[in-house]
Amino acid sequence: MKKPFLSKQVIQNFFEGKTTRMQNILIQEWLDNPANRELYFQWLEEWESENPQFTPNIDLAYERSLYTVQNNTADPNLPASLARTLSKSFRRNLFFLQWVAAACFILLVSAYFSSDFWLYRQYETGYGEIRVVRLPDSTRVTLNANSVLTVPRFGFGSGTREVRLKGEAEFAVKHTPDHRKFIVRTPDKLEVRVLGTEFIVYSRDRGSKVVLSQGSVQLRSLKELNPKPVLLKPGDIAMLSVQGRLTVSHSQTLSTHQAWKQRRFMFENTPVSEIAYQISEHFGVNVVVSDSVLAKRTLGGTFNASDPANIIKVVSDVLNARVTRSPRTDGQSETFILNSNH
């Protein structure tokens, strides 16, 4: 179902308690999109700076209390100016209470459906996008395409330093004076613990991978009943299979695993099937290899990772293969089919 589009004015009306019940429902659906959540907080900060909270009229309240105590009853013949002022004050209080009630409603509903909305901030990249994020503890994270990094909104750095990653990212972790651990968790229950170092974490549907360039990293596969820590040294690459098996290769060439930071693909006797998978994963297109013989052929070299069509054309020229291209349709990704000429 298509997500609703809501303007800044509608959200500001919500802050002021002027939205209808249907609009509140639409706002909840709109907040399902993580990008909209960040926009919501931005607009909320702007609105709060432009609309300071209600400040009571202390002098008026004191005058009113004195009158009530002295007469032990409300005066039906209050001066018109005072009555109007009291009426305005009442309406303003009522308006403020309505706003608080509306805010509580959306908070409760959102908290029920998605506590992550309030507790965590998400940094995302689209297909073909690379993004650098600086965390509150000065750790630098470079997100590869089609990735999501989840970070606590409150207390990060001063308390825990724990993040969640789905996709791929390079971490340059800042060491703290109190030697506080930095922890990365992946959807397949891989735990990465460091103090201060540089490493890459990859975690997608086919498993996870950790590539260590500097420092040291401690890994655990929490799929195991009694997981034993595995310590990595620079040049090590750890792989976690879908089944939860953790293996480590030592003294590896890391450049092929780091090339994406320069928007390049670097292949080294890589099967065509793997090349097709990486292109699909990075750009969100379908790359189909038509036969098993072509899929097993290998290729080496460095390719510019700016456009999937250009990469596939270069690959097909090297392999002397044909490419059939199907344009993007509604709800479907663009498809490239590699066919052998033999």
| Tokens read off for 301 | 């070299």
- CATH numbers and ranges of domains, the chain: 8-114 (no CATH), 120-256 (2.60.120.1440), 263-340 (3.55.50.30)
Chain mean position to CA 221: 23
| Tokens read off for 83 | 């009555």
List per-residue pLDDT tens for the chain, 342 residues long.
455 677 888 888 887 778 887 788 888 887 877 778 778 877 787 777 777 654 444 454 445 444 444 444 444 554 555 445 545 555 555 555 566 666 666 555 555 555 666 788 999 999 999 999 999 999 999 999 999 999 998 888 777 899 999 999 999 998 888 888 999 999 999 999 998 799 999 999 889 999 999 998 999 998 887 888 999 999 999 999 888 888 999 998 899 899 999 999 999 999 999 999 999 999 999 999 988 899 999 999 999 888 899 999 999 999 889 999 887 766 678 899 998 876
The strand order across the sheet containing 321-326 reads 286-289, 335-340, 321-326
Phi, psi of 46 (to 5 degrees): -65, -45
The model scores a pTM over 0.95: no
DSSP string, 137-168: TS-EEEE-SSEEEEEESSSTTTS--EEEEEEE
Give CA separation, 89 vs 18, 44, 84, 185, 331, in Å: 18, 24, 9, 52, 53
Q: Report the C-alpha gap between 141 and 131 in whole angstroms.
A: 8
Hey, what long-range contacts does 328-335 have (CB within 8 A, 24 or more apart)? 333/284, 333/285, 333/286, 334/285, 334/286, 334/308, 335/285, 335/286, 335/287, 335/288
